[in-house]
Structure formats: structure tokens, C-alpha cells
Amino acid sequence: MSFDRSKKPTWRQGYRYQYEPAQKGHVLLYPEGMIKLNESAALIGGLIDGERDIATIIDELDKQFPGVPELGNDVEQFMEVARAEHWITLA
């Protein structure tokens, strides 16, 4: 399946990405609860702002972590899960 990297992810209304000291990590808060994100998901989540498209998010992460061949696929997989779980919308 090809993935459209020109789409711009945005957190859905009611979802808030933030650092949670009690969890010692980044979380996604939503009306029914909270999801603790792993380090990779937190790095991707920190770049979701409704302005950057997926290609830009991948480029920015590639600058921080050069030479990681599966980086683009990892970001795409996160976006697929986040969309399937209704955390984000892609426009």
C-alpha cells in the first residue's frame, strides 16, 4: 500500500499531546483517558502540528537521526495506527 506523504496530520479535537511528568514521558490525553507514547511515537507526535506534512516530519526526524533506513516506514506505520485509532486526521 502506498502512503500519501503530502497529507498533514492533525490531532483530533479533544486529543492533546503533552509531556506528563508523572508518566515520565509524552502522552496523548483524550476525554476517556490517556495513552502513554513510546519514545519513537513521542518524537513523531511532537512534530504533528497541522502545518507539517508527513514528508516534512520524516525529513525533520531524518536530520535528527541520519542513516536510519526504516525511518520513513516507521513514521507511516505510526500515522496508520494513529488514524485507525482516531487520534489524528489527515488532510
pLDDT at 2 over 70: no
- State the Cα–Cα distance between residues 86 and 71, nearest whole angstrom: 22
Does residue 2 belong to any structural domain of this protein?
no
Can you tell me the distance from the alpha carbon of 87 to that of 78, in angstroms, rounded to the nearest whole number?
11
List, for residues 70-83, the tens digit of each pLDDT value.
999 999 999 999 99
Q: Looking at the whole model, is its pTM more than 0.85?
A: yes
Which pLDDT score, from 0 to 100, does residue 3 have? 80
What is the count of structural domains for the chain? 1
pLDDT tens digits along 23-61: 999 999 999 999 999 999 999 999 999 999 999 999 999
User: Grid coordinates standing for 57?
Assistant: 516530519
Higher-confidence position of 19 and 3: 19
By residue range, what is the domain housing residue 68? 9-86
Q: Which of 13, 18, 44, 43 is nearest to 29 (CA)?
A: 18
| Residue 36 placed within a domain | yes
Specify the CATH number for the domain of residue 67: 1.10.10.1150
The CA distance from 22 to 73, in Å, is 31
